[in-house]
Homo-oligomer: A and B are copies of this chain.
């Protein structure tokens, strides 16, 4: 194991930050480090928070981090912003405001920009989770701005998804994209000091009642919080821990993780194949192959067969050149 991976294993925050950056850049040694660290991952519990802008997710994440710290956990936070390269300043501000020392070696805060690349959001988040996991952070909070398919992508990478809304959001919930409401393992009504919090909780419970579910499955909890004051945050952490404990006891957590790993493998196969076959970067689908297509000298089926068969060789070539 190289020095950097070793330092990550020892929980060195600077090494963690550096390795995540290098993995983001796709540096080959960093990817090798990531592979070496992989077998040391799988211990952390990963909690995703998603919801519309303005729901107070950043403040809530700050509070949850403090709550978990007070319970003796080592806590890491990833803020995923699919639209822009956020500096993480807001989050760091929250952390300081809540009396956390920036030098606390048992917390780690970082923002991740999701490049609109092949592979999508989870391709960026998963490696970062594994680095943090191998570094010994045992609670990892992922904050994401709910836009389009991002919520679902993050749900595919975590053990427990918190769906955050605010009082009066009931109608909005009903118009959520199909499949988004269903990903909530725990529901949060934040800013619960505002009027209508109880009504929104009832509406969420009614919607949950209409979802199909296994007879023995517990309904997701709906927790009221006021992140500004910290009210309800301990109850929220309790609800998350209960969901995780039940999942561990029933085997649902293990199954969920296995499903995620299998899906990730399939995604990576397609991603690898597309990278090697697509024209950009001098892929195989150029030059003579295109000319053959144009003259109908070769059919797409024949060419596709050839390309698939050349993948293994192409790979060996890459290796040798690297």
Instruction: Give A residues with C-beta under 8 Å from B.
Output: 31, 34-35, 38-39, 41-42, 254, 257-258, 261-262, 264-266, 268-274, 277-279, 285, 289-290, 293-294, 296-297, 299-305, 307-313, 315
- CB contacts (< 8 Å) of A271 on chain B: these are 304
> Complex formed: what's the CA distance from A293 to B302 in Å?
34
> Complex formed: what's the CA distance from A296 to B41 in Å?
8
| Among candidates B274, B290, B310, B313, residue contacting A270 with C-beta atoms closer than 8 Å | B274
A269 touches B307 (CB 8 A): yes
A308 touches B315 (CB 8 A): yes
| Among candidates B262, B264, B285, B311, residue contacting A290 with C-beta atoms closer than 8 Å | B262
Contact flag A265-B300 (CB < 8 Å), given A258-B290, A270-B270, A272-B308: yes
A39 touches B265 (CB 8 A): no
Oligomeric state, in copies: 2
In this complex, which of A42, A293, A300, A302 has the most chain B Cβ atoms within 10 angstroms of its Cβ? A300
| Among candidates B269, B290, B297, residue contacting A273 with C-beta atoms closer than 8 Å | B269
- CB contacts (< 8 Å) of A261 on chain B: these are 293-294, 300
Given A262-B290, A265-B289, 8 new contacts (CB under 8 A) = A35-B302, A38-B299, A258-B294, A270-B270, A272-B308, A273-B273, A309-B315, A311-B312
22 inter-chain pairs at a CB distance below 8 angstroms, sorted by A residue, are: A38-B296, A258-B290, A262-B285, A264-B300, A265-B285, A266-B278, A268-B304, A269-B273, A269-B307, A270-B273, A270-B274, A271-B304, A272-B304, A272-B305, A273-B273, A305-B315, A308-B311, A309-B312, A309-B315, A311-B311, A311-B312, A312-B312
> Complex formed: what's the CA distance from A310 to B268 in Å?
14
A265 touches B308 (CB 8 A): no
| Among candidates B257, B304, B310, residue contacting A312 with C-beta atoms closer than 8 Å | B310
- CB contacts (< 8 Å) of A290 on chain B: these are 258, 262
B311 touches A35 (CB 8 A): no
| Among candidates B264, B296, B308, B315, residue contacting A269 with C-beta atoms closer than 8 Å | B308
- CB contacts (< 8 Å) of A294 on chain B: these are 254, 257-258, 261
> Complex formed: what's the CA distance from A312 to B304 in Å?
12
9 smallest beta-carbon distances between A and B, as pairs: A268-B304, A264-B300, A38-B299, A265-B300, A261-B293, A312-B312, A309-B312, A269-B304, A273-B273
A265 touches B278 (CB 8 A): no
In this complex, which of A35, A270, A299, A315 has the most chain B Cβ atoms within 10 angstroms of its Cβ? A299
Give, as a whole number of angstroms, the nearest-CB distance from A153 to chain B.
Answer: 15
